[in-house]
């Protein structure tokens, strides 16, 4: 039997580290190369904790790698969104209605650290930090690396190389520079900035806001959100146009402390009250860009494969970028399992091609749904019609379990439903909801005309 090929994984972010662990679990030797220092030895950037929402696709992948139990204590359940109005009033809207339909806030630093700790315990994985990938030569199977601490560049050969080095991937850039792939980023004209909300000093062990929710301050053209951390703090994120216009706020109009305070006090007064040194945080925290990456090819002849953000970075408004990257790992791991020990190059090329073929419709679907969701989060959630639509969708799900599942639930809680199918069914369901909501006879959901619903579902192919 041929020996299993060794893998060089560029980028020990969450996707690279999880994939390295899955490969090692299958007996592969893995070299995991990361430009940053070892997270076990350093404090988080600027002492801030930055978090994200983990949903069922992400937890399914962690479970598959046997890591979910280790991460569970660091995960904060968020069963719904808490909407904050201009006057500080709040309204809770559950995300799902069935047991376990919750998403979880998870600290990025904790996630990375736990994954790296697991990788460090694995004898099949060699971890190399402070090492930047500069270039990849696919023909010669060599990768150019730079040791950041020693200030020395060197080349190394590889057997199989996985590019998991995020949205600005050096691996992808090397392939594009050689004309092997084409990629372009569609930037969003809105940027984001993270701000810390510490635990309130007066309430030991308490939180500034209800911890079991994802908080949203939807303001039409922009929004503030906040996710809880296990230490009693929240991480808030402002999403706002890069360039404002007369009467329309933008990051370019926030150049003075006075402007920042005035904006926050007018728009997010309850949040402004619990963000200490608001103007100083605003001035010192980075303003970062967002966009969708469209990459036409992810693999080269069974030798190189892009995964996670390196292949398909998306905007964060469905909270799915990492969930989707983890789902990449899950699929590749499953395909490796199906094919058994993939030793020869031809079988591996077929495997990478199959991975790309199966995955591409789903990543395209989540990229589109994530863009659509920005409008929902910052604007549509405020309308009474949105609440009514949610109630109607929940009622249909109760009456037609499995046949009607709200699109948000399909994406967040149903990893067995591929993104592309969630998008397709979501469109068909939207037509049913539109028709029912336009029906003036439908004054209360209890009196829904069953015959009409049945025919609408059938017409929509559901």
CB of 143 to ligand FAD, least distance (A): 9
CB count within 10 Å of CB 100 equals 9
Give 396: exposed, middle or buried? Use CB within 10 Å, 0-12, 13-18, 19+.
Answer: buried
Q: Mention every residue, 6+ apart, whose C-beta is less than 8 A from residue 159.
A: 5, 6, 7, 8, 141, 303
Cα–Cα distance, 214 to 92 (Å, whole number): 9
Q: Hey, is 191 helix, strand or coil?
A: strand
Which residue, 8 or 423, has its beta carbon nearer to ligand FAD?
8
Answer yes or no whether residue 36 interacts with ligand FAD by CB under 6 A: yes
Q: Closest by alpha carbon to 413, among 58, 14, 18, 52?
A: 58
Q: Could you give the residue ranges of the DSSP H alpha helices within 121-250?
A: 170-177
Question: In the complex, what is the shortest distance from the CB of residue 417 to ligand FAD, in angstroms, rounded to a whole number?
Answer: 17
Nearer to ligand FAD, 14 or 211 (CB): 14
Please count the residues of this chain forming the interface with ligand FAD, following the rule CB under 6 A. 31
Q: Shortest approach of ligand FAD to residue 62 CB, angstroms?
A: 12
Contacting residue, 32, 53, 160, 174, with ligand FAD by CB under 6 A? 53
Helices (H) and strands (E) in the chain, counts: 15, 20
Q: Write out the binding residues for ligand FAD, residues 94-123 only, by CB under 6 A.
A: none
Q: What is the DSSP letter of 263?
A: H
Q: What size, in residues, is the chain?
A: 462
List 5, 16, 211, 426, residue binding ligand FAD (CB under 6 A): 16
Q: Which of residues 231-290 bind ligand FAD (CB under 6 A)?
A: 237
CB-nearer residue toward ligand FAD: 36 or 113: 36
- Does the protein bind ligand FAD through residue 418 (CB under 6 A)? no
The reply to whether 52 sits near ligand FAD by the rule CB under 6 A is yes
Applying CB under 6 A, among 9, 15, 119, 136 the residue interacting with ligand FAD is 15
Q: According to CB under 6 A, which residues from 147 to 186 bind ligand FAD? A: 164-166, 170
- List binders of ligand FAD among 317-346 (CB under 6 A): 319-323, 325
* Stretch in the footprint of ligand FAD (CB under 6 A) among 87-95, 204-212, 305-313, 440-448: 305-313
Q: Which span sits near ligand FAD by CB under 6 A: 32-40, 120-128, 380-388, 424-432?
A: 32-40
Contacts with 71 (C-beta within 8 Å, 6 or more apart), sequence order: 62, 106, 110, 111, 114
Q: How far apart are CA 324 and CA 307, in angstroms?
A: 10
Least distance from ligand FAD to the Cβ atom of residue 10, Å: 5
Tell which residue, 322, 270, 409, has the closest CA to residue 71: 322
Instruction: List residues binding ligand FAD (CB under 6 A).
Output: 10-16, 33-36, 52-53, 132-133, 164-166, 170, 192, 237, 308-310, 316, 319-323, 325
């Amino acid at each position: 039997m041929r020996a299993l090929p060794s893998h060089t994984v560029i980028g020990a972010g969450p996707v690279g580290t999880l994939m390295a662990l899955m490969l090692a679990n299958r007996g592969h030797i893995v070299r995991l190369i990361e430009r940053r220092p070892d997270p076990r030895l350093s404090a988080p950037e600027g002492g801030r904790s930055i978090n994200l929402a983990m949903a069922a696709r992400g937890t399914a992948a962690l479970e598959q790698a046997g890591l979910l139990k280790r991460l569970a204590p660091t995960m904060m359940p968020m069963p719904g969104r808490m909407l904050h109005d201009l006057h500080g009033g709040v309204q809770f809207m559950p995300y799902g209605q069935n047991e376990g339909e919750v998403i979880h806030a998870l600290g990025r630093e904790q996630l990375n650290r736990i994954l790296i700790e697991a990788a460090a315990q694995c004898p099949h994985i060699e971890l190399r930090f402070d090492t930047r990938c500069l270039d990849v030569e696919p023909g010669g199977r060599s990768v150019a690396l730079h040791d950041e601490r020693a200030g020395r560049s060197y080349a190394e050969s590889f057997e199989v190389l996985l590019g998991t080095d995020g949205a600005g991937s050096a691996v992808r850039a090397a392939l594009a520079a050689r004309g092997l792939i084409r990629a372009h980023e569609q930037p969003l004209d809105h940027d984001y900035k993270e701000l810390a909300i510490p635990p309130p000093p007066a309430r030991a062990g308490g939180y500034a806001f209800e911890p079991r929710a994802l908080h949203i301050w939807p303001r039409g053209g922009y929004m503030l959100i906040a996710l809880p951390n296990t230490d009693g703090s929240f991480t808030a994120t402002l999403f706002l146009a890069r360039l404002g216009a007369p009467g329309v706020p933008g990051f370019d109009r926030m150049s003075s402390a006075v402007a920042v305070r005035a904006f926050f006090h007018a728009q997010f007064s309850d949040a402004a009250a619990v963000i200490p040194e608001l103007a100083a945080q605003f001035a010192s925290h980075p303003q970062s860009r967002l966009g969708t990456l469209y990459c036409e090819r992810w693999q080269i002849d069974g030798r190189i494969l892009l995964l996670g953000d390196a292949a398909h970075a998306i905007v964060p408004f469905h909270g799915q970028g990492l969930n989707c990257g983890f789902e990449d790992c899950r699929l590749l791991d499953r395909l490796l399992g199906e094919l058994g020990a993939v030793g020869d190059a031809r079988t591996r090329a077929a495997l990478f091609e199959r991975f790309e073929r199966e995955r591409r419709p789903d990543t395209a679907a989540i990229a589109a749904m994530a863009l659509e969701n920005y409008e929902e989060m910052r604007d549509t959630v405020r309308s009474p019609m949105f609440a009514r639509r949610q109630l109607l969708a929940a009622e249909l799900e109760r009456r037609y379990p499995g046949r009607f599942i709200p699109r948000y639930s399909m994406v967040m809680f149903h990893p067995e439903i591929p993104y592309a199918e969630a998008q397709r069914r979501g469109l068909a369901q939207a037509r049913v909801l539109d028709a029912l909501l336009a029906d003036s006879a439908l004054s209360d959901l209890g009196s829904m005309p069953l015959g009409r619903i049945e025919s609408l579902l059938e017409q929509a192919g559901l």
